[in-house]
Chains A and B, each alone.
Chain A
């Protein structure tokens, strides 16, 4: 059974970089033809797709976030990560990681608050 778990600081100051990791267990992140995605959800609002990385290293990003987002894979740790630069209060949200292709497995989500 594949499981995903997000981790990272719960509080980030405005203008700084938000960094999250997603640890995958129950399967290798570099085997199979999978995308690995990040999705977020502000409180009481809808879902927003952030982006995804294929096991080959190719990426797709939300155009509205593209200038600030980097998604990367670390096969040695079986993790993938999200970096979002120059954050503002509008980036406060629950951040989810998910195994893409069919978005079959999701992490439980982690709340990141942007505040000074």
Chain B
């Protein structure tokens, strides 16, 4: 089974920009992996921010964007807010099966 890798932790200053990445042990991440990004706050269910690389749900703040960058999926947060402090997970698809990354703990400080 493929292994999906994320930065364990990142810190961003309020108002700053940060990019989280999502890599695959099988090689470059492409749009064919249908990358997803989720935000999870303590005690809550995950909330889907981005699907299929760069598509947003109606509830996704405009400051979040998804892309492919350097062979990885990327989630960029531009203009970080204190409420963005959370765990972020990516999800990749492999011929029907799906694998989550280990998650990135984002601190806004």
Q: List residues of chain A with CB under 8 Å of any chain B CB.
A: 39, 46-49, 52, 60-64, 96, 102-104, 106-109
Contact = CB atoms under 8 A, between A and B. Distances in A.
A63 B97 contact: yes
Given A63-B1, A64-B1, A103-B48, A47 B97 contact: no
A47 B98 contact: no
A116 B45 CA distance: 28
Contacts of B91: 47, 49, 103
Interface residues of B, number: 22
A4 B58 CA distance: 19
Nearest to A4: B45
Contacts, number: 52
Contact of B102 (A46, A60, A103, A107): A46
Q: Is the interface of B mostly helix, strand, loop or mixed?
A: strand
Interface of B: 1, 36, 38, 40, 45-48, 51-52, 55, 57, 89, 91, 96-103
Contacts of B89: 46-47
B46 A106 contact: yes
A78 B84 CA distance: 35
B97 A106 contact: no
A102 B103 CA distance: 19
Contacts of B45: 96, 106-109
Contacts of B51: 102-103
Given A63-B1, A64-B1, A96-B45, A103 B100 contact: no
Nearest to B6: A46
B46 A47 contact: yes
